[in-house]
Amino acid sequence: MIFFPNSKINIGLRITGNRDDGYHNIETIFYPVSLSDALEFVIPDQIIDKDIIKVTGIDTGGEPDDNLVIKALLKLRRKNHFPFLKIHLHKAIPAGAGLGGGSSDAACLLKVINRHFGLNIDNLNLKAMALELGSDCPFFIDCVPSLASGRGEIFTPVKAVLSGYYLVILNPGVGINTGEAYQNCRPGIPSTNLLQLIELPVVEWKGQIINDFEDFAIKKYSVIGDIKEELYNCNALFSLMSGSGSSVYGIFSDKPKLPDKLRDFVIWEGFM
């Protein structure tokens, strides 16, 4: 059986405070995007004594057995019994790109195994398991546009504000360490929350909807800022880095004509 875990972008990302558990409180909007990996599992004809995973496509930079998909399986097996599986994960979402690819893969695995083997785990408990795998992982259980608060696990659904717009996602191929990004940001309470800001026309988001990680990321890798500037030169209504980086997206009213120097970075584009 083959499934297609999709990605997300962040519309804004504010770090609103430190937490006693070592995490940070944030405010962001997770918005699902059709850029997806491919995840397949089969029950082998011959008995095997552990789950086996093969990862192809974009290099994730880690060992297959350390993949979040395997970690999700192990969590399911703590209280549930089902056969050991052969899994093929084909990566099209870059790792460490601010697009939630690994978290989406893990959440997809939790959902499809629960459904296929009739484990009867409700969404609340699936999200609790997902949260143990990553702060953004629970979002991909329902995967609808949502304001995320807390450490990123408290969701308030929002309307599909990007419907009808053309989205371009670009990845410069540089990695941002999330821990380092947090260390270089100063938490603060925004004067205006995202629920109010997304009610504005998209063309008015520039300068009002921001990503607190972006200044640090641009200082570290100027190419991120260069991509943003070029997107605005191509008449983007709005552009922002997603998550802790390094992917950058541009929102357009129609399909843009991008210069070759930007085309080399494009990993997904299409109408929303």
Q: Which residue has the tokens 């995007």?
A: 33
Per-residue confidence (pLDDT) for residue 208, from 0 to 100: 96
pLDDT at 177: 82
Q: Which domains does the chain have, with CATH numbers?
A: 2-157 (3.30.230.10), 166-271 (3.30.70.890)
The whole-number pLDDT of residue 21 equals: 84
For the question of residue 136 being annotated catalytic, the response is yes
Which pLDDT score, from 0 to 100, does residue 199 have? 96
pLDDT (0 to 100) of residue 184: 85
pLDDT value, residue 190: 87
Q: What is the pLDDT of residue 119?
A: 98
pLDDT averaged over the chain? Answer: 95
Amino acid 178: pLDDT: 79
**One-letter amino acid of 66:** D
CA distance 221 to 20: 31
Q: Which of 37, 105, 136, 212 is catalytic?
A: 136
What pLDDT sits at residue 3? 98
pLDDT tens readout for residues 134-187 = 999 999 999 999 999 998 999 999 999 999 999 999 999 998 887 888 888 888
Q: Are strands 86-91 and 52-57 parallel, antiparallel or unpaired?
A: parallel
Per-residue model confidence (pLDDT) at position 182: 85
Per-residue tokens: 1? 């059986």
- In whole angstroms, give the CA distance from residue 82 to residue 6: 25
Please provide the DSSP assignment of the chain as one string.
-EE--EEEEEEEEEEEEE-TTS-EEEEEEEEEEEEE-EEEEE--SS--SS-EEEEEES--SS-GGGSHHHHHHHHHHTT------EEEEEE-SPTTSSS-HHHHHHHHHHHHHHHHTT----HHHHHHHHHHH-TTTTHHHH---EEEETTTTEEEE---TTTT-EEEEE--S----HHHHHHT------SS-HHHHTTS-GGG-TTTS-BTTHHHHHHH-HHHHHHHHHHHHTT-SEEEE-TTSS-EEEEESS-----HHHHTTEEEEEE-
Strand order in the sheet with 238-241: 238-241, 248-252, 166-170, 266-271
Tell me what pLDDT residue 181 has: 83
Query: Tell me, what's the pLDDT at 192?
Result: 87
- pLDDT at position 23 is 82
Confidence at residue 188, expressed as pLDDT on a 0 to 100 scale: 84
What is the model's pLDDT at position 99?
Answer: 97
Q: Is 8 a catalytic residue?
A: yes
Is residue 85 within 8 A of residue 51, CB to CB? The reply is yes
Query: What pLDDT is stored for residue 63 in this prediction?
Result: 87
> How, if at all, do strands 86-91 and 154-157 pair?
unpaired
The list of the chain residues with pLDDT below 50 reads: none
Question: What's residue 61's pLDDT?
Answer: 82
Distance of CA 6 to CAs 76, 99, 233, 241, Å? 21, 9, 29, 18
